[in-house]
Amino acid sequence: MVTPKKARSAEPDIANAPARLLDALREKDFESLAEARARCGLTGAEFTTALELLRKKGLIETRAAKARRGPLSPCLRIRGERGYVVAVDIGGTNLRLVIADLAGTILGKWSGSTVNAASPATVVGLIESGVKEIVSHAGLRRKSLLAVAVGAPGVTDSKNGVVLLTSYLGGWKDVPLGRMLESRFGAPAVVENDVRLGAVGERWKGSARNLNDFVFLAIGTGIAAGIYVNGELLRGPEWAAGEVGYLVVPGTSEAGVREGMPGALESAIGGEGIKAQWQKETQRMYGEALHNLSATDIFERATNGDEQAKSVLERSARILANAVYNISVVLNCPLFILGGGVASNAILRDAAETALIEYSQPVRPQLRLSSLGPDAQLFGALRLALDAAEKKIGVRV
């Protein structure tokens, strides 16, 4: 039975209207109220309520601006100076953070190494050091900090802000990172899996802008996916949705995986897996320097005619195509955004698309490179930090 689609309710969506207006204002200032309302897609009641609430909260500014013709028209803009947020991407070797105002304008960037500073307390201390440095340099007030959002590698309970398990960072387990950050900064803290944050970033500012159904597939040292279904980020009841590095597809090992070890797909076409393919293919035909090439270098050699490199590229592309096709069949997903140091390579994308040609039913998924690159996670963290700030202020449900 086919259930008819419900028509949009005639009742105004008052609760979400202020956040929708702020989102539109982060894209541009408006020269008229009519333009702003049209861009937001709000009803008259929704727009009026949003405007009044944002004015009351001191989040927007209305000023008179001379129109090309006719009378003066109001110009709307976000008062970004009303507060600021912190967005953090914690990696296995590096930590990056940005501070932005409420308009989403980046006020400062900072990075530090996590190689010898991987304990939870030390990482929180690193974040605090970076925040202090930017705050001091930008002349910000500490009490104007409204929210912090952090991306962490591994299985992450975003509801409770807990990093459940990761093979990076010295093997964190059940780390209450959100609570630690809130205690340190005195502001709401959001903690999310880093690859899911990449999906959030791509949907906000990247290659999946405003799309409701897509998969952000990150392949670097590890492999994971951030999945949007019907406009909702898929997390799973045990917070492990998207751990596709454990997929078993044609071309990968069928052996069971021990705890803490990489999955079958990750072992085959993660960064180390591709290097292992190359080393097996060449059997030390080359010197040490060429024997330890990165995946990107191997793919480059393939385009230059190296037969062993071509074999590795074709095998990797076939395995990637198998994984993408299987995921697309389960989710009926039309689009895959490829990110990470390995997957964001156009050479691999093109070879995988060739392999996907024979898989056209029920739908052939499209492969698109990330437009945000390594900043996808930071943009995702910034998006969630702004959402958390709006909840704190009282303009987002």
Tens of pLDDT, residue by residue over 90-105, are: 998 899 999 999 999 9
Q: Encode pLDDT of 119-165 as tens digits.
A: 999 999 999 999 999 999 999 998 999 999 999 998 999 999 999 99
Higher pLDDT, residue 103 or 361: 103
**pLDDT cut 70: percent of the chain above it:** 93
pLDDT, one tens digit per residue, over 211-222 is 999 999 999 988
**CATH of region 82-200+376-393, choose from 3.30.2350.10, 3.30.420.40, 3.90.850.10, 3.30.300.30:** 3.30.420.40
- Fold match between domain 82-200+376-393 and domain 209-370: yes
For domain 209-370, the CATH architecture is: 2-Layer Sandwich (3.30)
With a cut of 80, say whether residue 68 has pLDDT above it. no
Query: Residue 332 gets which letter from DSSP?
Result: T
DSSP assignments along 197-239, one per residue = HHHHHHHHHSTTTT-SSEEEEEESSSEEEEEEETTEE---TTS
| Distance, CA of 166 to CA of 173 (rounded, Å) | 7
Residue type, 252: T
Rg (C-alpha) for the chain, rounded Å, is 23
Strands 189-193 and 145-152: parallel
Cα–Cα distance, 331 to 340 (Å, whole number): 22
pLDDT at 51: 92
Q: Check whether 311 has a pLDDT greater than 50.
A: yes
17-78 is classed CATH 3.30.70.1150: no
How far apart are alpha carbons 159 and 56 in whole angstroms? 30
Is the model more confident about 266 or about 259? 266
- Give the domain ranges of the chain: 17-78, 82-200+376-393, 209-370
Contacts of 323 (CB under 8 A, 6+ apart): 244, 247, 249, 265
pTM: 0.91
Alpha helices in 57-171 (DSSP H): 120-138
pLDDT band at 1 (very low <50, low <70, confident <90, very high): very low
Among the ranges given (69-73, 158-162, 323-327), the one the predictor scored with the smallest mean pLDDT: 69-73
Name the residue among 26, 100, 22 with its Cα closest to residue 54: 22
